Amino acid sequence: MNQTSRQLVASEDDAGERIDRWLAAKIPELSRSRIQALIKTGAVTSGGGTIGEAGERVKPGKSYSITVPEAEEATPKGEDISLDVVYEDADLIVIDKPAGLVVHPAPGHATGTLVNALIRHCGASLSGIGGVRRPGIVHRLDKDTSGLLVVAKNDAAHKSLSQQFAEHGRDGRLHRAYQALCWGVPDRPSGVVDAPLGRSQANRKKMAVVAETAGRLARTHYHVEAVYPDAEGLDFVSLMRLELETGRTHQIRVHMAHIRHPVLGDPVYGTGFKASARRLTDEAREALHQLRRQALHAAELGFEHPSSGEAMAFASELPEDMTRLIEALRQATG
């Protein structure tokens, strides 16, 4: 197996630094967790001896060697699945994900996922995330949410993008905005849903708004872009633009349901509004039936490129199924 070795000498300024943190700063293409894993396998040595602990302190003037094996092939196998590639370079790839595509292999979805598709599409350009030749998933979209998603192709890009998503845009580097069709019209055209999220006590597979002490901070900014009527001409459905200040599981879907404006077609958090479809025109009701998913689309994605530092920005138009539903809703105004 091919492997690469790096030798580094600690300076006086490095004295007392943890070996894993010091190596991660010196070798940015390797994440700290990857370096910790290498230390456990005996890949870091000094003076003929093996460094056994990630917390060992660096000594000035001492030489340290780290051996990095070639990335192993990914356990998920590559599959020939069509991808809508918006942008790609040596560090990352931006995909416009269709509804129905699962992002990561999991029980019940071992194949046919975005990861399987990316392993096949990217091939040798995947230099290894954590020692495995696989794409680095830094954020996810639900299976039935469409839109933009960025994936890292190497450890350095994964490290940078993960940090940006951990900040959720607070440092100005990351930007995410969604479009959704929601039941009803909020009292105010713009606002913020500030409600902590955690696992539902009634159903552990669902998320819910919980007490502050039991959940995690979650904020969603919304703006009503358009309003569509029901069959009687009364305002009934809102097209909303939603920006995430945090990125919790199912955040938009739970927050919209919490303020009594759930996403149309949401099979988990919008079940209490199924009867609302009866107020739509026949055409709109049929278009909603054909949607067969939540009407939620990741429309905008911006981030700082992990290598160049350039501000990257991408936009995705609403997919055909949501556009068809909007057109059917508009016809009620005629």
The residues annotated as belonging to the active site are: 142
- Host H or E run for residue 262: none
Q: At what angle do helices 19-26 and 32-40 cross, to 10 degrees?
A: 130
Going by C-alpha positions, the residue among 196, 298, 296 that lies closest to residue 246 is 196
Going by C-alpha positions, the residue among 72, 79, 82 that lies closest to residue 105 is 79
The DSSP bridge pattern shows strands 296-304 and 146-152 to be parallel
Please give, one letter per residue, the 3-state secondary structure of 45-71.
EECCEECCCCCCECCCCCEEEEEEECC
Position of tokens 């010091």?
22
Q: Are 273 and 279 in contact (CB under 8 A)?
A: no
Q: Tell me the CB-side half-sphere exposure of residue 255, using CA atoms within 13 A.
A: 27
DSSP H helices in 90-173: 114-122, 155-167
How big is the chain by its Cα radius of gyration, in Å? 24
At 176, list the tokens.
């995410």
What is the length of the chain? Answer: 334
Angle (CA) 104-266-245 rounded to 5° is: 70
Q: Determine the Cα–Cα distance for residues 73 and 93; give it in Å rounded to an integer.
A: 19
